[in-house]
């Protein structure tokens, strides 16, 4: 089991870092399914056709659900990283400011940070050392 040996506090922090961005991403995906005017106008302003909004929303929801399932969370994190990379590229291409460009990057950090805290396998794969910490 991936979470075996993880302290309770670390596991709780990991799930908080998992659930918070996931709720936002699910809400974003659902909004794309309902297509309120502000979603349509923002998407079209960024250069996407209106008929792409629902498929993008469905993709986001599916990737987020895959991420939330412990058995497929790594695959979900990889898929969401690709999705968020596309968001960064879109905002860079559209000449948006720093916040719209860095917002998806922050979500990627939260997504992988949640996995890092919940799964000890990541500690060996990505050995983050804090100054003065013993191995």
Cβ proximity of 66 and 29 under 8 Å: no
- pTM of the predicted protein model: 0.88
Question: Which run of H or E residues covers position 99?
Answer: helix 98-118
CB 67 within 8 A of CB 20: no
Report the distance separating Cα 118 and Cα 15, nearest Å. 7
**In this predicted model, what pLDDT tens digit does every residue of 67-101 receive, in sequence order?**
999 999 999 999 999 999 999 999 999 999 999 99
> Vertex 23, ends 68 and 63: CA angle to 5°?
45
Q: Give pLDDT tens digits along the chain (135 positions).
A: 566 678 899 999 999 999 999 999 999 999 999 999 999 999 999 999 999 999 999 999 999 999 999 999 999 999 999 999 999 999 999 999 999 999 999 999 999 999 999 888 877 777 777 766 555
Sign of CA dihedral 41, 64, 116, 10: positive
Number of Cβ within a 10 Å radius of residue 51: 7
Confidence at residue 2, expressed as pLDDT on a 0 to 100 scale: 63
């Amino acid at each position: 089991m991936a979470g075996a040996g993880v302290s309770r506090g670390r596991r709780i922090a990991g799930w908080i870092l998992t659930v918070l961005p996931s709720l936002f991403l699910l809400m974003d995906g659902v909004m794309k399914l309902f297509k309120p005017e502000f979603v349509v106008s923002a998407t079209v302003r960024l250069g996407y056709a209106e008929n792409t909004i629902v498929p993008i929303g469905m993709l986001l929801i599916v990737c987020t659900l895959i991420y939330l399932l412990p058995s497929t969370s790594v695959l979900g994190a990889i898929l969401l990283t690709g999705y968020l990379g596309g968001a960064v590229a879109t905002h860079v291409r559209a000449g948006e400011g720093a916040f719209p460009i860095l917002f998806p990057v922050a979500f990627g950090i939260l997504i992988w940070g949640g996995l890092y805290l919940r799964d000890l396998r990541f500690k060996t794969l990505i050995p983050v050392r804090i100054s003065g910490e013993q191995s």
